[in-house]
Amino acid sequence: MSARPRPASTRLPARSDSPFRRLARPWLSPRVFDFWASRLHPTWSWERPLARIVERRAESADAVTLVLRPNRHWHGCRPGQHLNVSAEIDGCRVTRSYSPTGLPGRDRRVAITVKAVDGGKLSRHLCERAKVGDVLDLGPAFGDMQLDENAAAPRLFLAAGSGITPLIALTRALAARGMPAPLSLLYWARKREQLCFVDELRSYAAAHPRFQLRFLLTGEAADAADEGQGRIDAAQLATIADLADREVYACGPGGFVDEARALLAARTVSFQAEAFSPPPRTQEDLDGTVEITLAASARTVTVARGQSLLGALEAQGLKLASGCRMGICNTCACGKRSGSTRHLHTGDAQHEPVSALRLCVNSATSDLVLDL
C-alpha cells in the first residue's frame, strides 16, 4: 500500500509483567481473576486491555465519538494507527478496527469516531446502543499510516467518509506543532451533514496559513467558500500548490483510494493509502467457483471466485476472527497449504504453495487448502 519504507515496528512496546502477576501466575487462572475482578470494577482484569465508555457525543448526522478510558493493560497508540475494538452483541463477540481520533494525553483517554454503516453490527451497536459505562475490549495499536510530525515536507491528505479518522488524528498532531510544513486536506462526503470535525478543521485553517482545507460534496451543491463539489478528479487536485513535492496520505473506500492512486502515485513524492473495502472486481475474477478445503476442520466448501475469502467463508457459516477487514491488523491471517490467490487491492497474484495470507483482502483464483 505504501510507497515509502515501513517503520520497523508499528506496535508500541509492551510493559513488563507486574510482580503480582509473576507471583500469582502459577496459582491463579487469568479467567478466574477476570471474573471476580470485574465484580469489583468493570475494567479490572489480569491482562486483558479493556476500556470504559466515559463520554459519547454526536459527531455528524451518522457518526458518534466515543471517549474511552482504557485500563492499564492497553499500551497506547500513535496518530494514524488503528486498534481493534470488540463488544458482545447478542451473545457473540464482534470485532472491528477503528482509528482513534483522540489520542491519549495525561488523562489516558482515547476517542474513536464511529459511522453507522448499513448492516454493520458493531458500528450500529456503538452508534445506537452503546452508552456511558459500557466496557469494550481494546486491541493493541497497529498500522503504517504515520508521519514524522516535525518533518518539513509539504503534505496532502485525502479523506473520504470515515477515512477522515486517521487523518484528523494526524492533522491534530501537526496543528499542535504549529503546522511545521504546508498541509492541504481535501475531505469528501456525500452530504454536508455527514462531515465530521468541521468547526475544528475550520479553526485550524483560520489559525494556520499553511493549512488549506476543502470540503467536497458528492450529493449536494457546494455552499460555503471552502466547499466544492464532485468526486475526486484531476481538476480538483490541480488546485493544490506544489503537488509534485507533496507526500500524499489517502484514506477512504477502495474505489476512492484506487482513483487517488491512479491520479497521484506517479506524480508525487510518496503515496500512502488505506482502503476500507476492496475495489470492484473484474468480470474475469467473478467467473466460476472454486473449492476451498479447510484442513483443520476436514471440510470443503465451494465459493465464488473473486470474493474476499473472509466474506466467502463467513457466508458459508464459518465464524472467523477478523478486525479491520482491510488487510492491516493481521487478525484474519491464516496459513495456505496450496492454491493461488489474488490480492483484492493490488491485484497481485500469489502462487506460493505454502504461505500466510490475510483472508479479508485475498480471493481464491484456484482451489485452495487452508489451515482452518
> Could you list the residues that contact ligand FES (CB under 6 A)?
322-325, 327-332, 358, 360
Pairing of the two strands 299-304 and 270-275? unpaired
Q: Within 7-118, where are the H helices?
A: 19-24, 30-40
In 3-state terms, what secondary structure has residue 130?
Answer: coil
Closest CA to 92 of 372, 331, 258, 319: 319
Of 332 and 370, the one with the shorter C-beta distance to ligand FES is 332
Whole-angstrom distance, CA of residue 104 vs CA of residue 112: 11
H or E stretch at 234? helix 234-237
User: What residues have CB less than 8 Å from 1, skipping those under 6 apart?
Assistant: 144, 272, 273, 274, 275, 327, 345, 346
Cell 485550524 identifies what position? 204
Beta-ladder partners of 299: 294
* Residue 290: other Cβ atoms inside 10 A: 22
Least Cβ distance, residue 76 to ligand FES (angstroms): 20
Least Cβ distance, residue 277 to ligand FES (angstroms): 12
Cell 489451515 identifies what position? 371
Of 48 and 82, the one with the shorter C-beta distance to ligand FES is 82
Least Cβ distance, residue 167 to ligand FES (angstroms): 20
Of 7 and 230, the one with the shorter C-beta distance to ligand FES is 7
Least Cβ distance, residue 332 to ligand FES (angstroms): 3
Indicate the Cα dihedral angle 312, 315, 320, 324, nearest 10°. 70
Of 184 and 308, the one with the shorter C-beta distance to ligand FES is 308
H or E stretch at 203? helix 198-207
State phi, psi for 220 to the nearest 5 degrees.
-155, 170
Least Cβ distance, residue 360 to ligand FES (angstroms): 3
Closest CA to 208 of 155, 283, 261: 155
Least Cβ distance, residue 300 to ligand FES (angstroms): 23
Whole-angstrom distance, CA of residue 257 vs CA of residue 113: 20
Least Cβ distance, residue 336 to ligand FES (angstroms): 14
For 107, the grid coordinates are 488523562
Whole-angstrom distance, CA of residue 112 vs CA of residue 144: 18
Left (φ > 0), alpha (ψ -120 to 50) or beta: where does 116 sit? Answer: beta
Of 166 and 182, the one with the shorter C-beta distance to ligand FES is 166
Least Cβ distance, residue 180 to ligand FES (angstroms): 32
Of 53 and 112, the one with the shorter C-beta distance to ligand FES is 112
* Residue 13: other Cβ atoms inside 10 A: 8
Of 18 and 330, the one with the shorter C-beta distance to ligand FES is 330
Least Cβ distance, residue 67 to ligand FES (angstroms): 24
Of 143 and 154, the one with the shorter C-beta distance to ligand FES is 143
Of 185 and 357, the one with the shorter C-beta distance to ligand FES is 357
Least Cβ distance, residue 235 to ligand FES (angstroms): 35
Of 146 and 184, the one with the shorter C-beta distance to ligand FES is 146
